[in-house]
Structure 1
Amino acid sequence: MVIPSTSHKEEVMKLIAKKEQIERSINDCGQILLANKNVGMTESLLDSEGFPRDDIDVYAVRQARHQIICLQNDLKSTMKEIEDGLVNVHTEARTNHATTTKMANMEISPDITPEGPSRRIENTCETPILVVTSVMPLSPAEKCGIRKDDEILEFGSINHNNFKELKQISELVMHRQNQQIALKIKRQGRNHDITLVPEVWSGKGFLGCNIIIPNSTR
């Protein structure tokens, strides 16, 4: 059995812990927005006469919004570091495996080269995990550009490689309330990147759309 470098693994684990801390901080800031009539990140803080609204804590909301923006940038940077770290771990594992195989005088399969799994993953991720059957007006889903019949290829970190059940989506949405989630969708044969922000709105749930698992994914 090949054991990746402990230093690489430890570094990735530290980055994951950092990511989780950032997500908790973003969620804390999101709670401030929720407590102030769920103003979100873009709703105006001025009244109809151009004065600061008196029904919310304008200062607290501005501070929370600023912190969320900064934290989201930190989160994006940390996610990239985690991705690079995982590449280092798996690359080392493949290299060690290839060396071991050569020493045993066995033919090395092309699948262990860096190009092999990358191509398979890319192609596999073209398989939709969800299909949108309806989108409610004025919902978070409609605001971000999701449409009926869109095929969802990636929902945050969830794709065809790790998707098993709708519960994964629900848990991610609950965990990332008032936070950005990157989606990759296919519409009329073309791929699109969409940023969704689950949030409380006038309708049910945090998305305002109905999604099902396509038969090909079951």
Structure 2
Amino acid sequence: MTSQDLIQQVKDSLQRLNVQRQSLELEAEAVVSELNDRSNGEPMGVDTPLTDAEGFPRADIDVYRARTLRGRLSVIRTDHKGLMQNIERTLQQLAALQNPNKALEEKAELEARLQPKPLPKYDPISKKWVVKNWDGSVAGAPNGKNRSFDNLLADNAMQIEVDNPVALASSITPANEQSVLPKIPSRPFARVNSVEPQSPAFQAGLAENDLILRFGNITLDETSDPMKSVRDIVPKAAAEMSSIPLTVRRNTTEIVTIHLSPRPWAGRGLLGCHIVPYLS
């Protein structure tokens, strides 16, 4: 049997179901009309009481006929509901036969919606954290339907470069590249007040009371407001899944270089540490 034969078979079935639907609706209309007929006085009614105020069967109507009609109307309504569900399923079957690709697309969409969602990313254009839609587009950003979550960084590369070409290129070092740091500054501008266990800062090796001499390309000598600059580059590094080289002074004399990778984690923020300005 060809696909066209199947389609015709379903159409014939649908036509028979439609005839049954029309028949039930016409019969229901006739039953309701008789129950509401006022030509001989008060109507029997579809759901009005069949007893008088004293509890006796009403003498002004044929109670047996009223009960028979009401019982039939209840059966018609039940049959009609089941018939409409059958018609709906048949219509869906016909649509799947006429457009088999649509059924595959709907299945693929359902599977995509059930896939686990990746972690949010920082969007430098909207300056917001965004998430991935089931179709790979961006949720939470303007024009997100026309953008790719997986290629978010490529979409934003030109905009980021225009916004701050020097700071981004010099402050953020990709995790798979070796960084070459300039001369070690002598004056710290911040102190690590606390480090949360299992946080990105903890895993990078940052410790409480470390004095930060350099954070990426940020130093006290080269930046007027280093703490603000730190706040600016951290979300950008998280968005690009890049690491930031840090130079810290530990235990008064020890100089340590670490690579910190900001990212969402189970705790607050992207670093998992509290950094405060250092006052010498």
Specify the TM-score bucket, using the shorter chain as the normaliser.
0.3 to 0.5
Which has the larger share of helix? 1
Task: Tell me which structure has the larger Cα radius of gyration.
Answer: 2
TM-score w.r.t. structure 2 length?
0.35
| Larger RCO, structure (CA 8 Å, separation 6 or more) | 1
TM-score w.r.t. structure 1 length?
0.45
